[in-house]
Amino acid sequence: MTGWMPRALSALLFSLFLACGSTNDDPPNPGGEACEKYSFPLSDTSSASHVSSCSSTGCGNGENPPNSGMHCPTWLSCRSFDTEQPRCSWIHNLEHGHAVFLYNCPEGCPDEVAKLEAAQAQAAVGSNGVHRALVAPDSQLPKRFAALLWRRTYLMDAVDPDALTCLLALQDVDAGEPGLVCPP
């Protein structure tokens, strides 16, 4: 009868672990079973300070595209742009919990941009009724498409609407100033 105590203690600890869940940074299965095949890892924490000039080369966290870091004191309206926007500005949008959808299609890709705009329409809505997301071209992307939240990036060669839906399940989870409205 001397072996029952360690087994009972182990079973109790295991039960507590299952009841409390894991301790990683991601919420368990944020988009349900359909999202298990996607990975949206968190980037390292970096400074979220404002720079004095929106044309500063000191913006971002060193990733391409940047998903956090130093940024402009101003942000962009939440809409679809047809011209490239300063990265320093949309990083501020990310800090507010907005989603940013980017594309690099010098030859044009209207069908794929339409998919990004459809994802934009699925983003969380602010108290002003505006979907808190923007779409813009970005000629510096390492792939044709990117979907970003604060400290999260999903790169794609073709737009995957299911992946974007799953990423949006994490909107506001890690943002430094989550839930802030976005002007149209």
> Could you read off the pLDDT of 37-56 as tens digits, one per residue?
999 999 988 887 888 777 76
Q: Where are the domains of the chain?
A: 42-169
Beta-carbon contacts of 99 under 8 Å, excluding residues fewer than 6 positions away, are: 119, 120, 123, 132, 133, 134, 147, 148, 149, 167, 168, 171
Alpha-carbon distance of 79 to 81, in angstroms, equals: 6
Beta-carbon contacts of 155 under 8 Å, excluding residues fewer than 6 positions away, are: 141, 142, 143, 145, 146
Query: What's residue 6's pLDDT?
Result: 42
What mean pLDDT value characterizes the chain? 85
pTM assigned to the model: 0.82
Alpha-carbon distance of 152 to 99, in angstroms, equals: 10
Q: Is the pLDDT of residue 16 over 50?
A: no
- Report domain 42-169's class: alpha beta
Residue type for position 33: E
Token pair in block for residue 154: 């999903």
Alpha-carbon distance of 184 to 182, in angstroms, equals: 6
Beta-carbon contacts of 104 under 8 Å, excluding residues fewer than 6 positions away, are: 137, 138, 139, 140, 141, 143, 144, 145
HSE-CB of 101 using CA atoms within 13 angstroms: 32
State the average pLDDT over residues 5-10: 40
Query: For residue range 131-180, what is the model confidence (pLDDT) as tens digits?
Result: 999 999 999 999 999 999 999 999 999 999 999 999 999 999 999 999 99
Beta-carbon contacts of 130 under 8 Å, excluding residues fewer than 6 positions away, are: 78, 181, 182, 183, 184
